[in-house]
Amino acid sequence: MKILTPALYSAPCIKRLEKPVLTKDDCPYDASLIFNAGVAKYNGQYVMVFRNDYGPTEETFRKVPIRTSLGFATSADGIHWKVREKTMFDSASLVPGEELMRLYDPRITVIDNVPYLCLAMDTRHGVRGCIAKTDENFETISIISASAPDNRNMVLFPEKINGKYVRLERPFPKYSRGKDSFDIWLSTSPDLVFWGETELVLAVEDVPYANDKIGPAAPPIKTEKGWLTLFHAVDIDSERGKNGWEAAWKKRYCAGIMLLDLEDPTKIIGMSRQPLIAPEADYETEVGFRQQVIFPGGMILEPNGEVKIYYGASDTVECLATAHVDDLLALCTESRFA
Ligand code: BMA
């Protein structure tokens, strides 16, 4: 366990599984870094779409090109997963020179029993966030709408609110403020194509353990008290050195939690001023491509009140932590203002 300074720890209600739920060893194809998955319950089973960055090893990093595929896995219990032979997307099959360069960091939201994906999309002219439809077997990706650059980390709410689709998103306005300081925004749409009514939800300076950027994580889950909503929060320290394959990796990603108003989710009812999940386990802090990264992409509320939180760790493996919904709600009581 390697805890960076300033020391950050997970909330006591968080229980980790003893090891990651999915790694490269579970894949029947070329795989290296398996992380940042979207997870949902769909047609009586758990489904997962995960990111696989493959090609280089630690020794050949920056010499061998990185490819990205999106894999699909199913599970009966949300813990033991079977990866399908056929991927959903592979950057290796793109035509050289094509505008699209890769799709990654998938989230799944099922709305009226239709599964949708939110994806980050690298293109030759910028990073875009897109919303796509998939089929009931998760074999195809049909893009419905893609943002202008630079935007990423979109997540769709699981139902319309006041007759409109709603998404959280994280634009990164490079030139406006001279440094990374990227916040969480919300937009609505009548049809998943046209997006507007954009409002700021949470800013970096509202999160005491972030000093760099924040972004949406898993699609929110509905509770009687509000939309339980995860986000990721990044702090950076120029003194940090080698924490992974690169010469230096200076960032740490934690998961945060807040509660949004059911009728007006631009309103934060409360949040925790401490991280929900901070990097602590060895596979989060000691090994992997970019250590000290917790990047949640899926959250499921079970009938018994258990919440399953799926997150990529160290950009290398996919993990699961659980907590009771009442304990998570109890954390969301503080104001976002200090
Ligand atoms: C972000 C995204 C994520 C990744 C994280 C840490 O900007 O690229 O996919 O997990 O950085 O490397």
Cα–Cα nearest to 117, from 170, 70, 53: 70
DSSP state of 219: P
Question: Which residue out of 127, 182, 253, 314 has the highest number of ligand 1 atoms within 8 Å of its CB and is therefore the one to mutate?
Answer: 253
Residue nearest atom 2 in ligand 1 by C-alpha distance: 105
Mean pLDDT of 225-252: 97
Sorting pLDDT into bands at 50, 70 and 90, what band is 179?
Answer: confident
Q: Give percent of the chain with pLDDT exceeding 90.
A: 96
Which residues contact residue 330 at a Cβ distance below 8 angstroms, ignoring those fewer than 6 apart? none
Mean pLDDT of 181-185: 94
Sorting pLDDT into bands at 50, 70 and 90, what band is 181?
Answer: confident
User: Which residue(s) pair with 86 in the sheet?
Assistant: none
The half-sphere exposure of 171 on its side-chain side, counting CA atoms within 13 A, is: 15
Find out whether 236 and 173 touch, Cβ atoms under 8 Å. Answer: no
Find out whether 215 and 184 touch, Cβ atoms under 8 Å. Answer: yes
Find out whether 153 and 230 touch, Cβ atoms under 8 Å. Answer: no
**Cα 294 to ligand 1 centre (Å):** 10
Cα–Cα nearest to 200, from 181, 216, 219, 187: 187
Q: In what order do the strands lie in the sheet with 317-324?
A: 15-16, 317-324, 306-313, 294-301
Task: List the structure tokens of 217.
Answer: 């994580």
CATH tag, 21-333: 2.115.10.20
**Cα 44 to ligand 1 centre (Å):** 31
d(CA 143, CA 185): 21
Buried b (16+ CB within 10 A) or exposed e, 50-77: bbbbbbbeeeeeeeeeebbbbbbbebee
Residues lining ligand 1, CB < 6 A?
Answer: 36, 105, 253, 290, 293, 295, 312, 315
Cα–Cα nearest to 321, from 308, 305, 330, 303: 308
Cα–Cα nearest to 227, from 192, 256, 189, 267: 267
pLDDT at residue 178 above 70?
no
Per-residue pLDDT of 298-334, as tens digits, reads: 999 999 999 999 999 999 999 999 999 999 999 999 9
Which atom of ligand 1 is nearest the CA belonging to 253? Answer: 6
Residue in the structure block whose two tokens are 């020391």: 7
Per-residue pLDDT of 33-69, as tens digits, reads: 999 999 999 999 999 999 999 999 999 999 999 999 9
Sorting pLDDT into bands at 50, 70 and 90, what band is 4?
Answer: very high
3-class SS letters over 20-65: CCECHHHCCCCCCEEEEEEEEEECCEEEEEEEEEECCCCCCECCEC
CA 322 to chain centre: 16
Domain boundaries, the chain: 21-333
Task: List the structure tokens of 283.
Answer: 């596979």
Per-residue pLDDT of 77-88, as tens digits, reads: 999 999 999 999
Residue nearest atom 1 in ligand 1 by C-alpha distance: 295
Find out whether 258 and 272 touch, Cβ atoms under 8 Å. Answer: yes
Helices (H), 75-114: none
Radius of gyration of the chain (CA): 18
Task: List the structure tokens of 59.
Answer: 């020794």
d(CA 124, CA 98): 8
pTM above 0.95, yes or no: yes
